[in-house]
């Protein structure tokens, strides 16, 4: 049953593998999972590895365990309200306790119960302990007794599944899922009666003792309404929201290492000074190299919207890693020169660029779209020369890949310079490509 979970969650863009299941199995054995809220908690710790995952995770969780599908930009309340699962739960509650609340209150109760964790239960139990000890001092005996009884009732209904095996629990869940799907299964034997609900859905807190204290439901609600938690579209052309994602992909071009090695020269020198007592001198070396040449096409209106983003990206990169970054500009395509300033007044010849150390990473950013006569032989030769000299070179195109084949010049340049889209994913591919090249060059 649970075997489908990894694949299911993967469809929501989450990285889940079999190991997650094993960890969950272990959590179950250790008694960490006793309610549905616990499952949410534990799975969250295992699966969510970035605040960006919270949104998709909550969606996947509601869909998998409760069959509640949350639509794009839909609030959790709305999704719950229109779900079969919620309706059955509410009918069941109304049968037992009567209808005494508005929709909103029902949703709150539902969330409180769905996210009820063993910690909450424990808190109530602990609270009762204190109560028991203090009861002598409480003046209003009647009030006290009333509440104690209420808590008793409440706790009885609180499900404790420590005796069930994982398989049994899952089987029950599966049954519930099946029931949700079948139309005429009838709400009456919906699991959740007489305190055997695997979900911790006991009686509603009619008696005024609310449990879901730690606000798992509140969190889930906030997550789904907060744009921050929606995953950044890694396939969208660079924009203000995904520039950080792009930056983290770009970091891959930094070669960084920290090694400790024997400083032979120093060891001999110091050893001679000590009169032949040679003590190895160790030296740490952190090697962090990032040198980038940026060639930006800033001619023509087609590129205007992207230039600011590109500059923002690389400026961030520069301030974060403080390395060598050189920017040159060109118009449409590179002939025999590029420009040092954005106004394209100070020209430097391409030979000067080619004299630079070939360890530079070169990013050419442009849409590579021009009239075919503009892409002359000189220009093509320039690209060839660049690729020959700089092994780590790539072209980032703000045009989406599916449109490339409609532009002749893109197809030509693509053959000369490895081309990727100017998206976080594209940049990541570009970085992988650059690093791979580097490796094979080292092997030779």
Partner 1 sequence: MADTTFWTGSQHYLCDPALAQSFHIARTLGMPLLIEGEPGTGKTELPIQYARDLGLDLFIYPTGSKSNVDQFVGRFDHVKYLRDSQIEILNAQRSEKGLDASLHTSGRNTENLSDYVIKGPCAQAYESANSVLLIDEIDKAPREFPNDLLYALSHRKLVMPESGDVIEVSEENMPAIIITSNREQELPTAFKGRCIYHYIHFPDADTMQKIVSKHHPKIEDKVVDRAIDIFYHLRNIGLDRAPTTRELLNWLKYIKDTSSEAAIEKIEKLEGLGALVKTQADLEKVQRRVLGDSEDYFRRSTPN
Residues in contact with partner 1 by CB under 8 A are 15, 17, 19, 23, 26-27, 30-32, 41-42, 44-46, 48-51, 54, 117, 119, 122, 213-216, 219, 248, 251, 254, 256-260, 277-280, 282, 284, 286, 288, 320
Quote the least distance from Cβ 94 to partner 1, whole Å. Answer: 31
Q: In which element (H, E) is residue 85 found?
A: helix 84-97
Distance CA 192, CA 72 (A): 30
Q: Of the two residues 267 and 381, which places its CB atom closer to partner 1 in the complex?
A: 267
131-148 burial, b at 16+ Cβ within 10 Å, e below that, comes to eeeeeeeeeeeeebeebe
Quote the least distance from Cβ 80 to partner 1, whole Å. Answer: 21
Q: Of the two residues 280 and 305, which places its CB atom closer to partner 1 in the complex?
A: 280
| Count of C-beta atoms within a 10 Å radius of residue 354 | 14
Ramachandran area for residue 270 (φ above 0: left; ψ -120 to 50: alpha; else beta): alpha
Quote the least distance from Cβ 223 to partner 1, whole Å. Answer: 10
Q: Of the two residues 6 and 418, which places its CB atom closer to partner 1 in the complex?
A: 6
Q: Of the two residues 136 and 275, which places its CB atom closer to partner 1 in the complex?
A: 275
Q: Of the two residues 217 and 366, which places its CB atom closer to partner 1 in the complex?
A: 217
Quote the least distance from Cβ 118 to partner 1, whole Å. Answer: 9
Ramachandran area for residue 200 (φ above 0: left; ψ -120 to 50: alpha; else beta): left
Quote the least distance from Cβ 203 to partner 1, whole Å. Answer: 24
Quote the least distance from Cβ 60 to partner 1, whole Å. Answer: 16
Q: Of the two residues 150 and 155, which places its CB atom closer to partner 1 in the complex?
A: 155
Q: Of the two residues 118 and 309, which places its CB atom closer to partner 1 in the complex?
A: 118
End-to-end CA, the chain: 50
Angle in degrees, CA 360, 361, 365, rounded to 5: 130
Quote the least distance from Cβ 57 to partner 1, whole Å. Answer: 11
Q: Mutual orientation of helices 54-66 and 36-47 as an angle, nearest 10°? A: 140
Distance CA 314, CA 244 (A): 11
Nearest Cα neighbor of 368 from 426, 427, 416 is 416
| Count of C-beta atoms within a 10 Å radius of residue 418 | 15
Distance CA 420, CA 246 (A): 13
Q: Of the two residues 284 and 373, which places its CB atom closer to partner 1 in the complex?
A: 284
Are β-strands 291-297 and 282-289 bridged in parallel, bridged antiparallel, or unpaired? unpaired
Angle in degrees, CA 9, 14, 15, rounded to 5: 105
Quote the least distance from Cβ 442 to partner 1, whole Å. Answer: 16
Q: Of the two residues 120 and 297, which places its CB atom closer to partner 1 in the complex?
A: 120
Q: Of the two residues 23 and 325, which places its CB atom closer to partner 1 in the complex?
A: 23
- Whether the CB-CB separation of 412 and 380 falls below 8 Å is answered with yes
Residue 340 φ then ψ, to 5°: -80, -25
Token pair 């003046």 is at which residue?
139
Q: Of the two residues 19 and 265, which places its CB atom closer to partner 1 in the complex?
A: 19
Quote the least distance from Cβ 282 to partner 1, whole Å. Answer: 8
Quote the least distance from Cβ 299 to partner 1, whole Å. Answer: 27
- Whether the CB-CB separation of 413 and 397 falls below 8 Å is answered with no
Structure tokens at 297: 């096409």
- Whether the CB-CB separation of 379 and 335 falls below 8 Å is answered with yes
- Strand ranges inside 217-345, DSSP E: 255-262, 282-289, 291-297, 324-330, 337-339
Quote the least distance from Cβ 443 to partner 1, whole Å. Answer: 19
């Amino acid at each position: 049953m649970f075997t489908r979970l990894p694949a299911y969650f993967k469809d929501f863009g989450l990285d889940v593998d079999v190991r997650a299941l094993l960890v969950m199995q272990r959590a179950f054995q250790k008694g960490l999972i006793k309610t549905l809220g616990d499952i949410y908690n534990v799975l969250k710790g295992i699966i969510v590895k970035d605040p960006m995952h919270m949104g998709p995770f909550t969606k996947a969780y509601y869909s998998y365990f409760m069959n509640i599908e949350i639509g794009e930009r839909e609030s959790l309340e709305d999704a719950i309200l229109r779900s079969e699962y919620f309706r059955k739960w509410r009918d069941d509650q109304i049968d037992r306790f009567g209808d005494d609340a508005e929709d909103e209150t029902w949703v709150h109760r539902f969330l409180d119960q769905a996210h009820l964790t063993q910690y909450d239960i424990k808190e109530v139990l602990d609270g009762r302990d204190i109560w028991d000890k203090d009861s002598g001092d409480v003046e209003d005996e009647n009030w006290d007794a009333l509440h104690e009884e209420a808590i008793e009732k409440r706790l009885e209904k609180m499900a404790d599944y420590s005796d069930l095996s994982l398989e049994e629990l899952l089987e029950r869940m599966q049954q519930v899922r099946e029931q949700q799907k079948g139309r005429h299964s009838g709400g009456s034997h919906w699991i959740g009666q007489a305190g055997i609900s695997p979900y911790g859905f006991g009686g509603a807190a009619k008696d005024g003792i609310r449990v879901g204290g730690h606000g798992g439901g509140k969190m889930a609600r906030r997550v789904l309404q907060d744009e921050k938690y929606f995953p950044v579209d890694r396939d969208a052309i660079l924009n203000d929201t995904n520039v950080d994602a792009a930056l983290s992909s770009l970091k891959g071009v930094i070669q960084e290492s920290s090694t400790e090695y024997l400083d032979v020269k120093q060891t001999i020198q110091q050893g001679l000074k000590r009169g032949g007592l040679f003590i190895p001198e160790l030296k740490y070396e952190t090697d962090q190299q990032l040198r980038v040449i940026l060639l930006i096409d800033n001619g023509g209106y087609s590129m205007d919207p992207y230039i600011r983003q590109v500059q923002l990206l690389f400026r961030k990169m520069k301030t974060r890693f403080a390395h060598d970054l050189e920017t040159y500009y060109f118009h449409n395509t590179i002939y025999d020169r590029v420009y040092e300033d954005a106004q394209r007044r100070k020209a430097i010849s391409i030979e000067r660029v080619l004299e630079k150390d070939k360890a530079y990473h070169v990013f050419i950013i442009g849409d590579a779209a021009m009239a075919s006569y503009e892409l002359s032989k000189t220009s093509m030769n320039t690209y060839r020369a660049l690729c020959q000299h700089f092994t780590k070179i790539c072209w980032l195109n703000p045009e989406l890949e599916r449109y490339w084949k409609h532009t002749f010049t893109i197809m030509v340049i693509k053959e000369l310079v490895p081309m990727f889209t100017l998206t976080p994913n594209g940049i990541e591919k570009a970085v992988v490509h650059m690093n791979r090249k580097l490796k094979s060059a080292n092997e030779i």
